[in-house]
Amino acid sequence: MKKTSTRLADGRELIYYDLRDDSVRDATDRRPLDRTVTTSEIRRDPLLGDSVAIASHRQGRTYHPPADECPLCPSEGERLSEIPDSSYDVVVFENRFPSLAGDSGRCEVVCFTSDHNASFADLTEEQARLVLDAWTDRTSELSHLPSVAQVFCFENRGAEIGVTLGHPHGQIYAYPFTTPRTALMLRSAATHKEMTGGENLFDAVLERELAGERLVLEGEHWAAFVPYAAHWPYEVHLYPKRRVPDLLGLDEDARTEFPKVYLELLRRFDRIFGESEPPTPYIAAWHQAPFGSLEEFDGVVREDFALHLELFTIRRTSGKLKFLAGSESGMNVFINDVPPERAAERLREVASS
């Protein structure tokens, strides 16, 4: 992998990740952009104890542009985009309309491929490995920023999810705090550790699922399963079999196997509802241990956390979406119409031949 860092016309950082070591990235951003102005602010809810990002400048962000005006495609002739070069393998750049900025963290966009009509599932294993390397590199770099406590790499896919740019891409949020979901996991891990005399909760979960009926896909170094208490109609958790706290902890064997396992998982997701259905909308979310202090979590250390990816769709059956209505949105109590065991069975049925 070759990494080349440059600056866009408004001062934002852009990084090319190339498969070839002889790639030259010297194109300049020719757009007449003013410096980016953000108004991101973190406010803490005194009742729930969580945090909300207030970012009014995002109201003006790019919204469903036509394909020939996509800001994530390479620049070509006089059609200028966020990527100055005429081609790329993987690109990461600071979001022009970030939810988090300055002392409130940082937001980045990850373009998986220059092919506007592709999806992550269309990548080759070599391309998918390059994305993994980019995620890992950005996790490392962002973790050193003084305002960052946790790094979150994720992909939203599909208009039903709320995606406003059709080009295959994901995002990275670098939060200045430990997120609520992660805090809940850490508290559960601390309680389990104390009650069992030191057993790791994540290890116990993975061991149970490896031996059960909800296992979907297993390699030598990775395992994918539908969790016992899945919140979403089709939800899969992908774990490395050797527990590590973050992407930086993966060894070469796990990195090498990841593209094959993950691409197969994504391709199965696109076959859940049949070949005639539109591509399955999904969210793919990497859960990594915070880089900040864990003193508030009673004896849990970073190494107790298990890196894993959660992949889920909001489509519950053909032509129907799972909406977060009263119980989910009002009380955070999910109601799942698809038994996890049946979801796992379906994901095994649609395996590649």
Least confident of 63-67, 173-177, 215-219: 63-67
Residue 253's alpha-carbon distances to 44, 151, 220, 246, 265, in angstroms, are 41, 23, 9, 15, 19
**Confidence band for 305, pLDDT divided at 50, 70 and 90:** very high
Report CA-CA distances (Å) from 328 to 46, 188, 232. 21, 21, 11
Q: Say if residues 206 and 223 touch (Cβ distance below 8 Å).
A: yes
Rounded Cα–Cα distance for residues 82 and 15 (Å): 11
Upper half-sphere CA count for residue 146 (Cβ side, 13 Å):
2
Q: For 100-155, what is each residue's pLDDT tens digit?
A: 998 999 999 999 999 999 999 999 999 999 999 999 999 999 999 999 999 999 99
Structure tokens of 9? 């016309």
Separation in Å, CA 131 to CA 54, 155, 182, 221: 30, 12, 23, 18
Q: Which residues are catalytic?
A: 169
Low-confidence winner among 33-42, 85-94, 324-333 (lowest mean pLDDT): 33-42
Q: Above pLDDT 90, what percent of the chain?
A: 87
Strand order in the sheet with 13-18: 2-7, 13-18, 90-94, 106-111, 169-175, 150-157, 282-287, 308-313, 234-240, 222-225, 215-218
Q: Quick one: pLDDT band at residue 56, thresholds 50, 70, 90? A: confident
CB neighbour list of residue 201: distance below 8 Å, 6 or more residues apart: 188, 189, 192, 193
The token pair at 23 is 């790639």
Give the integer Cα–Cα distance in Å for 309 and 305: 13
pLDDT at 36: 76
pLDDT tens per residue, range 234-252: 999 999 999 999 999 999 9
Whose structure tokens read 């119409």? 337
The rounded percent of the chain whose pLDDT value lies above 70 is 98
For residue 184, pLDDT over 70 is answered with yes
How high is the pLDDT of residue 277?
Answer: 82
As a whole number of angstroms, the distance between CA 108 and CA 96 comes to 9
Contact predicate 93/85, CB 8 Å: no
pLDDT tens figures, 18-54 = 999 999 999 999 999 988 777 789 999 999 999 999 9
Q: Alpha-carbon distance 178 to 189, whole Å?
A: 15
Decide if pLDDT at 293 tops 90.
Answer: no
Q: What is the mean pLDDT of the chain?
A: 94
Structure token digits, residue 324? 């977060």
The arithmetic mean of pLDDT across residues 164-178, rounded, is 95
Cα dihedral: 147, 148, 154, 159 (round 10): -20
Q: Per the structure block, which two tokens stand in for 75?
A: 């620049």
- Please check the confidence at residue 269 and state whether its pLDDT lies above 90: yes
Average pLDDT of 274-301?
91
* pLDDT at 221 (0 to 100): 98
Q: What is the pLDDT of residue 50?
A: 93
Amino acid at 278: P
Q: What value does the mean pLDDT take over residues 273-299?
A: 91
pLDDT confidence tier of residue 332, bands split at 50, 70 and 90: very high
pLDDT reported for residue 61: 67
CA–CA separation, 229 vs 235, rounded Å?
A: 10
Confidence grade of residue 63 (pLDDT, cut at 50, 70, 90)? low
